[in-house]
Amino acid sequence: MNQFVFEKQQKSTFIGMMILGVICMVLTFVGDDAFHTRFWSNFLHNSVYFTGIAFGALFVLSASLLAYGGWHTIFKRVWEAYSLFLIVGLVLMGVIVAGVLGGFHHLYHWADKASVEADEILKGKSGFLNPMIYTIFTIGFVGIWFFIAQRMRAISQDEDQNGNESFSQHKKLKFWAAIFLPLGGFSSAAIIWQWVMSLDAHWYSTLFAWYCTASMVVTMYAFTLLILVYLRSKGYYTLVTQEHLHDIGKYIFGISIFWTYLWFSQFMLIWYANVGEETIYFKTRLEEYRPLFFLNLGINFFIPFLVLIRNDTKRKVGSLVFVSIIVILGHWLNFFLMIKPGVLHTAHELAHHDTHKVGGNESEIKMHSVKTSQENHADANSVPHTAAATHGEGHEVVSHDSHSDHAEVPAGFHFPGLLEIGTWIGFLGLFLYFVFWQLTKARLTPPNDPFVGESYHHHV
Amino acid sequence: MSVVVSPIREPLIGGNKTYHQITEDICAPTETTPPKSWVIAFIASVITLAYGLFCIGWLIYFGTGTWNLNRTIGWGWDITNFVWWIGIGHAGTLISAILLLFRQKWRTGVNRAAEAMTIFAVICAAIFPVIHVGRIWVVFYFFPLPNTRGPLWVNFNSPLLWDIFAISTYFTVSLLFWYTGLVPDFATIRDRASGFRKKLYQFLSFGWTGSAKHWQRWESLSLVLAGISAPLVLSVHTIVSFDFATSIIPGWHTTIFPPYFVAGAIFSGFAMVQTLMLVTRHVLKLQDYITVSHIESMNKVILFTGTMVGVAYLTELFIAWYSGYVYEQFAFLNRATGIYWWSYFGMMTCNVLSPQLFWIKKFRTSIFWTFIMSIFVNIGMWFERFVIIATTLARDYIPSSWSYYTPSWVEIGIYVGTFGLFFTLYLGFSRVAPVVAIAEIKSILKSSGNQYVNHHKDAHHHNINEQHALDHLTAEHEGEHHH
Amino acid sequence: MLRKRNKTVIYGLYNDESDLLTAVNKANSKHLDIFDVYSPFPIHGLDPLLGLAESRLHIGGFIYGLLGTMTAFGGMTWIFTRDWPMIFGGKPYWSVPAFIPITFELTVLFASIGMVVTFYTICGLGPGVNNTILDERTSDDKFALAFDLGSLSNDKVDGLRSFLKESGAGEIHIKDI
């Protein structure tokens, strides 16, 4: 079966997942603080995560094309489908962009004009960290990536119909791949600084972009493995054998080690030199996010390493599926750990800043303070003692005293709660719906690709 | 068993070779008297080496005062040259290990010579830490050896000590890997030799018989060694970068250093492989084994790693500005516009701009341009290390300490001497050992020999009829299942 | 010293690895006991036909590596927390991140040296070893299939000879090795 049929049951499952996601997001939004910090940080977290997978797919496709890699050819349509998800990523990140421009959310400390005025460091960075550059980079770069992904897809489909002896479409694909690789290499770094690193607006690390990219690429491989195993169980991709899964297993193994290498390089250098501006990043995470910090390293390094070090586990579907699920969740946690502390810090800063500046003039205060979570209300010790205010929607808003900032643990920040997982499932439903829909639009195995024979006869 | 090769792959072995011709061609240099050009090159190398040894002797006798190091420039040409040579020593193991794991078959044409080059480059590099200590007779203090100084240990927290471990390990593992690959090829020469040469190669080939079980273990060993050499090769330059990056000196302390040093090392290593291979293939008449397609592949690696290095330079530059940290900002401004601006200029031109020529196929496949570019890259990567080391140290926090550094004749002499050592070893290697891995070339002949690849072009399924092609694949698939 | 294995074998030389593979297949179907195969390079797909068990060298490598890990990490831990505790750069005695590089290097070093030494030992190869070579052309372009003559009767030897001939061997010889 080379033509994929998107079954009704699958559709309804994915739609169900999306509905669950929407419900969770609504619940998050309603039960959130005045800034809707939890809602927006979840939105950003999952948007970056899934857009990253799409980017990773396009990157790996392009790299394989230029390196004469052929083993993946029989299932390359899966990666093409992933790469097209960039259009959804563009819309999702477009929402964040709109939020930056319109001030709907307070994810980025640098997006707040008053804070930038009062902060020399933010002022120094404002040439790069400003709503305009954020908008142009996000829309521009993701737009260009999608354009290239879409071009490559069209050429690849054209090859199915009009493939010829001189492999003219393959040459065109290589042309676009050669354009994308350097462009994607440069622009992804800038995008990652903007989207993720600037959440901790004072902090900087030159390695950060490559570290994030490794995370995205390994997640992409793990998703590929799961989808292939699923599609095989449905009777598709019978040509995908143990040999191909073995190679995906090797990539998951290898990139997990590479990710750990980057993790170690970044952590060790900052730990060793102990320059305050840099160390604060890990100090926060080690002190306030300690379980997550070690969990991140444990499940993204030790599990793939120990399970996949053997050759036979790289060939067994069971162990591969297990590791893939771990890697998918693990790198989701990795992004969680990169995103949440910065966002929470921003919210604290802004709440603190606003209460001080605006003082008692309540009519001018809109959504400026952070409410503690429901759970923490039960804990009498943690109820902040600053004046409570009420805002338009009738929610109670409790602002923080700056001294008690770190004593409180708002839900969904120091560890993902049920709402985070629900939101992720919603995004996952969207991603899978989109990918399956794209899979219906072309043959699952491209018959005229020059590498298809090699890919079929692939032996490790 | 059929070998399926994509119709768009270029053959990697030209000239319709048979197994026997491969043996003849590759063994020939070890069995004939060297040409005049070789003799001249060898004598020149030995003389250069002798001069280098003289300078080292001078240094040891009179001490490191004969170098122009000063306050604040405590590291100069010594460390620059050390890092440069170590970087060059990365291509060999990368080709044998990482390209083996990635199943890039073109590595078979160049891996042997590249590994040899790696080992010789590491020897050249290792000279510098040894001679720079001043009291060379206690150089064993580097190692955590039992000693008469009481339970006084080396500092395991020091990146300089990590470097000692990294380089000794790298040298040992590369040597083992290289020699294990050479054993079957030495056996091939042994079985053709007579007299004294027979005895020599009998010794070198360790009694290799070519038994099936031995081959099986040999393959398994190669694969595992490749598997652990891949992270090893990354770790070596990573640890070299730690020498700088663990400090708090602006311009040195940056987290991108580890992968960026590795990319730079691969970049310069491949450039040196190109320089050597272009000459070797010409002199030893190995054009059928080291084809233009090999050269093009290596140029692609150079382009890729050069661009990665470019991304890293720009990242550093950008983050220096972005950090808002004035000393960091100054360090980079000083690199580009300070007293050593010319070395920054050389670095940027040679490393980032010039490799971009390789986007054009004409340059990528031109022997002449490849040679020119390989020299450019080697110069550029030397400048990179000089920029990082001297430029940064010349401009301290305190302007009153600012100084300038030029190497003394001893420092230049030692650097020149390492070239003598490198080429003496390489020229010797090219007459004693097969510079192309005979057994590995034979094992890819059926999939990459030009007569076989062309055969596939006519016969195999790249059918333009879609339905037919898929039927064919599926039928084959089911056929195999029934077996 | 020339090392002998005190065997007498009959062997056929083939010109191509595919001819050899076919011959090995045939020998298997006739239940002939193959002594060994000699070739100038490793032949893909030969090992299962000869019934060679997968090499366990990599398991050895893992154990040697583990030994290196423990030596390095344990050693540094003991030295810096028990034998001679010292503070460097304000870091704790037991500075795990700083121990990682050396731990990694020694893991690789132990694994490599251990495996290479094991390889040469179990193969009976090494400096100064000088095995009898069955046929010098097997390191060039010939592929040899050998049967142990042992105490086989003349009939059986003739049977092997005709098998080799039929399966396409260009030359057939008997040799003491």
Which pLDDT score, from 0 to 100, does residue A365 have? 35
Which pLDDT score, from 0 to 100, does residue A448 have? 85
Judged by CB atoms closer than 8 Å, whether chains meet at C97 and A267 is answered as yes
Q: Is any Cβ of chain A less than 8 angstroms from the Cβ of B155?
A: no
CA of C170 vs chain A CAs: smallest distance (Å): 31
SS3 C3: strand
List of chain B residues whose C-beta atoms are within 8 Å of the C-beta of residue A160:
466
| Crossing angle between the packed helical segments B107-131 and B257-283, to the nearest 10 degrees | 120
List of chain A residues whose C-beta atoms are within 8 Å of the C-beta of residue B477:
238-239, 456
Query: With 70 as the cut, is the pLDDT of residue B149 above it?
Result: no
Judged by CB atoms closer than 8 Å, whether chains meet at C98 and B157 is answered as yes
- What does pLDDT average to in each consecutive run of 10 residues of chain A (460 residues)? 88 95 92 86 95 96 89 91 95 94 89 88 92 94 96 92 86 93 92 94 93 95 95 90 90 94 95 91 92 92 90 87 95 94 88 57 39 38 37 39 49 86 95 94 88 81
- C-alpha to C-alpha distances, B99 to A249, B111, B183, nearest whole angstrom: 18, 10, 21
Q: Is any Cβ of chain A less than 8 angstroms from the Cβ of B133?
A: no
Looking at the DSSP bridge assignments, the partners of residue B21 are none
Identity of residue A361: N
Give the percent of chain B with pLDDT over 70.
92
Query: With 90 as the cut, is the pLDDT of residue B423 above it?
Result: yes
CA of A306 vs chain B CAs: smallest distance (Å): 15
Q: What are B237-260's pLDDT values in tens digits?
A: 999 999 999 998 888 999 999 999
Which of A32-46, B406-420, B461-475, C108-122 has the least mean pLDDT?
A: B461-475
Which pLDDT score, from 0 to 100, does residue B469 have? 55
Judged by CB atoms closer than 8 Å, whether chains meet at A453 and B311 is answered as no
List of chain B residues whose C-beta atoms are within 8 Å of the C-beta of residue C95:
157
Q: How many residue pairs from chains A and B have C-beta atoms closer than 8 A?
A: 139
Judged by CB atoms closer than 8 Å, whether chains meet at A66 and B300 is answered as yes
Q: Residues, chain B, total? A: 483
- To the nearest whole number, what is the mean pLDDT of chain B? 87
Judged by CB atoms closer than 8 Å, whether chains meet at C131 and B207 is answered as yes
**Which stretches in chain C have pLDDT values below 50?**
none
Q: What are B83-97's pLDDT values in tens digits?
A: 999 999 988 888 888
Q: Is any Cβ of chain A less than 8 angstroms from the Cβ of C98?
A: yes
List of chain A residues whose C-beta atoms are within 8 Å of the C-beta of residue B319:
204-206
Contacts of B342 (CB under 8 A, 6+ apart): none
What residue of A is the nearest CA neighbor of C58?
A310
Cβ pair B125, B89 in contact under 8 A: yes
List of chain A residues whose C-beta atoms are within 8 Å of the C-beta of residue B474:
238-239
Which pLDDT score, from 0 to 100, does residue A354 have? 61
> Residue B122: pLDDT band by 50, 70, 90 thresholds?
very high
Residues of chain B numbered 63-122 and touching chain A (CB < 8 Å)? 101-102, 104
| ipTM of the complex as predicted | 0.93
- C-alpha to C-alpha distances, A344 to A44, A103, A338, B287, nearest whole angstrom: 13, 16, 11, 63
- C-alpha to C-alpha distances, B244 to A197, A291, B276, nearest whole angstrom: 24, 32, 30
Buried b or exposed e, range A70-108, using 16+ CB within 10 angstroms: bbbbbbbbbbbbbbbbbbbbbebbbebbebbeeeebbbb
Which pLDDT score, from 0 to 100, does residue A355 have? 57
Q: pTM of the entire structure?
A: 0.90
Subunits next to A (3 or more Cβ pairs <8 Å) are B, C
Which of A21-30, A355-364, B183-192, B407-416 has the least mean pLDDT?
A: A355-364
Which pLDDT score, from 0 to 100, does residue B477 have? 55
Query: With 90 as the cut, is the pLDDT of residue B179 above it?
Result: yes
Cβ pair A22, A423 in contact under 8 A: no
Cβ pair B260, B312 in contact under 8 A: yes
